Structures are given as C-alpha cells and as structure tokens.
Amino acid sequence: MYRSKFPAQLIAIVSTLILAACGSPDPDPDPDPNNEQPAAQAPGELLEGSQSRDTDPSVESETFDDFTRDNRDFAFSIFNELREEEGDEGNVFVSPHSISLALAMTYGGAKENTKVEMSEALRFLLPDDELHASFNKLDLELAARSDFEPEEEEDVAFDLDIVNQTWGHETFPFLEDYLDLLSFNYGAGLYAVNFESDFEEIRQEINQWVEDQTQERIKDLLPEDSLDSDTRFILVNAIYFFGSWKHPFDKDLTSDSDFHRLDGSTVDVPMMHLPDSITTRYFEDEDTVAVSLPYVGDDVSMIAFMPADEADDFLSWEAGFGRESFDEVVAGFSHEEGTVRFPRFEDDGEFDLSPPFEELGMIDAFDSSLADFTGMYDATQAPNLYITDIFHKSFVSVDEEGTEAAAATAVVMGIESAPMLAFEVTFDRPFYYVIYDHPTDTILFMGRMVDPS
C-alpha cells in the first residue's frame, strides 16, 4: 500500500490498453505548479492522424444525458462483478471512467459481433458518431475543472488533467480513419515502436511513463510477460486529480473509534470529524443515508452512502442498490446542518478485468478466431487482433485535507503466435516404414523405400 500525506491528489491513470495504445501528444500534466517535473519520455516516433482534435464537439443535451446515464449503468455493473469476485469481506476500489474511456477507444475499431458484445457490456448504446463525440465533450468538460483558481491566501489546490497516449507496432497496417477517430475525439496520437524486438524495453518505458503521470502511485502497470513479440497496439489513458476539501476536517477532532465489520468484529480507525457549523448536502430515506463532501471549486465531491438503519443487512442493501438508486440519492440531496464523521484510510487494489467482462457478455473480443477489430487495421495485411488481458490497478487515500487516488487500466491485445514446432524432419532420403497395430504390438507390414519415383 502506498502512503502519502495530503496534498490530496486523486490520480486516476485510467488506462493502458495493450494492443492498443492511445494518447495525447503532451504526456506531462504537472499536479503541482510549484513542483517542476521533467516530462516523461515516451518511446517511439509520434505519428498523428490527419484531423486535429475537435475542441467544440456538437452534442445535444438530451444525448449527453443519455450518455452519462449509460456510463453510470456501466460503473455499477463492472463494480458489482468485481465485488462478487472479491467476496463479501473484501474492499473494492476501481475507476469505471478509466476502464470505460480506454475501451471506448478500442471499441472505435470493433466490428460485427465483437462490437455488439462490447456495446452491451460497456453500455455503449448511442450511434458511433454521438458516442465518440460525447466522450470528447465529457473529456473537455472535465479538463475545464482545472480552471478553478483558489484565492492566493488559501492553502488548497484542485487540478484535473486527462491524457491519452498510444503505441503501435511500426509495420502494422493501422487504418487512417481509425487514427483520425482517435485524434479527433480523444486527442490521441500513436508512437511507432518495434514490439517484435523491443517489447520488454517498451513495457518498462510505458510503465515509467504511467508512473510519472500518476506521481509514482501506479507502478508496474504492465506486469512481466504482459507484452511479447506478438503485441501490436497499446492504449494508455491517464487521469490525474488533485483536490482539497472545500470544508477540511478538523485534525484536532480526529480520534480512534470503532469501525464495525460485516462479521460483527470491530477495528480501531482514525475517525475524522467535520465541524458542526458546516452545511452539507444530505440525503435520507427509509433505505439509504448519504452525504456529499465537496472539493474546492464545488464541481467535484465525494458522495458516501450506506444503509439508513445500522441494523439493516448490508449485503441485502447493496444487492438492491443500483444506478437508479444512486440517481435518486443525487437528485434528493438537500443542504442540512449536521455532524459528519468519516474514517481516514488508504486502500489499493489490483484486478484482472478479463473474467468480469466475459461475465458481462464480452466474449468474442478475447477469442483469437472470433475477435473483429478490423476497424483499426487492414485485415488483408495482418493477422487477427484480439484482447489477451485487461489489467487494473487502483489507489486511494482520504485524510483531513482531501483525497488522493489513482487507477490504471491496461488492455492487452495481440496477434496469435504460430505454434512452436518441437522438431522438423523431411523424408527426402531412403527410409524404412511399417504398418503397425499398437494394441497387439504387431507389425502388419514393413517396407524399405529408396526410390519413391
């Protein structure tokens, strides 16, 4: 587990997609303007699509509302899959936005049933042009959050940067239309590299790039043996968030307190205390109680929710709480004065996302014979591409001053290797041969060949 003192930085390196690597030409969002960091060096020669990024995408408000609702549906669906994998007693922390955005760029090259299954699993229900334009609009609106400038005397900070970067094999026949889609909607170029000879060096360089983007919170995103000579395309999306609470918790009021586990046992945790004079967004109905704790700038907050009655069964409650319930909470918030106590904690996670996506119905994308990503490349000039692995790492730290978090997603895609032959022999000289019955160990026929002509 990583440990750090706030300045709180919610970093979500969103995603690293191997077979596909997508990203912005500027790989160095600096979380702290007073902390000069050298730009991370991305390997390879940068190639860019013929279209520059659309910085003013036209998306109807109703369409965008549908898009963000579908994204929330996906967030709950992937989270529930991971929760079931971790078991009732396990913590879970992921970045659904990282996963969704990384796979949106991959989805841009999917065709036929591969595309159908991905759209259903990821809740990509809009037509392609509206979907990618909506991702672009969302990306640009999130980037605008960093326009917040605190008053000079305030010791607070808020920053939100989003970076996309891709790496592709230098001789792989990528389609210009696909590269244009990435540059136009995601601001992503492509670094041409040689995976066949340099895959391990490239893995280490990409990991270093990810580490630099996340202030060293996400290390070794691509594990050993995750790339090989058959890797052809890697997509990386990084989101960095640095946010101070609008209303910091009073450190003098933090004290150890019991936290009640699901099995009935308790554990001491440092419990923070929000000053009672603070007005907070609050929600309560017969099932759920929730608070919204804003970061500076007011656009971003942490929403915490749990069963309304401490006697309620948590597992039953969470099984019935979905996207619709969450939307009702957000719509039902009112400003109230009250007391908020919240634990100070750190957590991290590491997940293999392939099984959860298969459970969500995304099957063909992982099958070397069924996957269809021919929207990315000229299939007449290259073997079939498919997803081999999807990795996800995450980190979160919450203290009296704010929140720091990081997440990274890696989708690994490649081509199927030709089978390795144990030997090679050619009978191009005289030889003996027999026709043999194995159950009875009987030579039925025996021959000697010296001239087959």
What is the SS3 assignment for 183? helix
| Fold of domain 9-245+345-415 | Antithrombin; Chain I, domain 2 (3.30.497)
Give the pLDDT score at 19: 44
Q: What tokens were used for 122?
A: 């990821």
In this predicted model, what pLDDT tens digit does every residue of 203-258 receive, in sequence order? 998 888 888 888 788 889 899 999 999 999 988 877 777 778 899 999 999 999 99
- How many H-runs (helices) and E-runs (strands) does the chain carry? 9, 17
Q: How far apart are CA 201 and CA 250, in angstroms?
A: 47
Task: Look at residue 4 in the predicted model and tell me its pLDDT.
Answer: 34
Rounded CA separation 312/292 (Å): 22
Give 113's contacts (C-beta < 8 A, 6+ positions apart): 364, 370, 372
Contact 248, 272 (CB under 8 A): no
Q: Are 412 and 227 in contact (CB under 8 A)?
A: yes
pTM, two decimal places: 0.84
Say how many Å lie between the first and final Cα of the chain, rounded: 73
Q: Mean pLDDT per segment of 10 residues, for the chain of length 453 residues? A: 33 40 37 41 72 94 96 94 89 87 94 98 98 95 83 74 84 93 91 93 89 85 92 83 86 92 89 87 92 88 89 88 93 92 89 95 96 95 90 83 80 79 71 68 69 70
Q: For 251-343, give the CATH class.
A: mainly beta
Residue 92: other Cβ atoms inside 10 A: 17
Give pLDDT, residue 415.
93
Per domain, the residue ranges of the chain are 9-245+345-415, 251-343
Q: Quick one: pLDDT at residue 423?
A: 64
